[in-house]
Chains A and B, each alone.
Chain A
């Protein structure tokens, strides 16, 4: 597994195999649904990176969604109603 001996240690920012494995493991742990599908770390590293991009995009989309819902809520709530008080206490 160690290609390290044959590789020059240069200033080029290349990932070593161990670094890849380590980081991909961490990514796997925080991505919600990546099954332990393959043993081969190289191939699944690529898949993990792809899933990571998708996951980040989904999270951002959800934030937009939540912001929209909240904006709607604030709009529709009557200034003096108890609902307004609830929202205000939660947020402000």
Chain B
């Protein structure tokens, strides 16, 4: 699973589109405003590659929309923008009461062997670390299903790699072009 060249191409196109939208503003703003604009368009470009099919991309779009609603609407065409921005993030198995109850039942029923003890400890460790993941993956707080969380993480990482890859090439090329 690597960033493919078609992913990179598509990201670049969308990012360029976002920057185009900012073009009239770019000349008249501060460096930090510009940086924000660049980053936001890069994020929307990255998220839109998934066309709303992943939790993290929807969460990222919603988050970006709170910072710059106009940009997001412009970058995603029309109707799609509306649904993506307003769509409630899926209550992916946030049925905490059910989870809690079944966990209690399981605990009562299981008589633990030594191996199961070890496995249980490992699970606790993993639970702690997955909490860390939830903090860095957009929308992670809505993913109480660990399998989903890790799948989303995988996809998010590949997308991030695409984003970094393309941005790095562009910035390096631009800086090289600017040296006398």
Q: Are A and B co-members of a single complex?
A: yes
Task: Give chain A's interface residues, CB within 8 Å of chain B.
Answer: 3, 6-8, 10-15, 17, 19-20, 23, 26-27, 29-30, 42-43, 45-46, 49-50, 52-53, 55-57, 59-60, 62-64, 66-77, 79, 83, 86-87, 90-92
Number of interface residues of B (CB under 8 A): 66
Q: Taking chain A's interface residues, is the majority helix, strand, or loop, or is none over half, making it mixed?
A: helix
Residue-wise interface mask of B (136-180) relative to A, using a CB-CB cutoff of 8 A (1 in contact, 0 not): 110000001111101101101110110110011011011101100
Question: B79 near A: Cβ within 8 Å?
Answer: no
Let me know if B178 and A71 touch, CB within 8 A: no
Task: Give chain B's interface residues, CB within 8 Å of chain A.
Answer: 1-2, 16, 19-20, 23, 26-27, 31-32, 34-36, 38-39, 42-43, 93, 98-99, 102-103, 105-106, 109-110, 115-116, 118-119, 122-123, 125-126, 129-130, 132-133, 135-137, 144-148, 150-151, 153-154, 156-158, 160-161, 163-164, 167-168, 170-171, 173-175, 177-178
Let me know if B157 and A10 touch, CB within 8 A: no
Chain B residues with CB below 8 A from A74, complex form: 26, 34
Q: Chain B's nearest CB lies how many Å from the CB of A60?
A: 7
10 inter-chain pairs at a CB distance below 8 angstroms, sorted by A residue, are: A3-B115, A3-B116, A42-B126, A53-B135, A55-B157, A56-B133, A66-B167, A67-B42, A86-B174, A92-B20
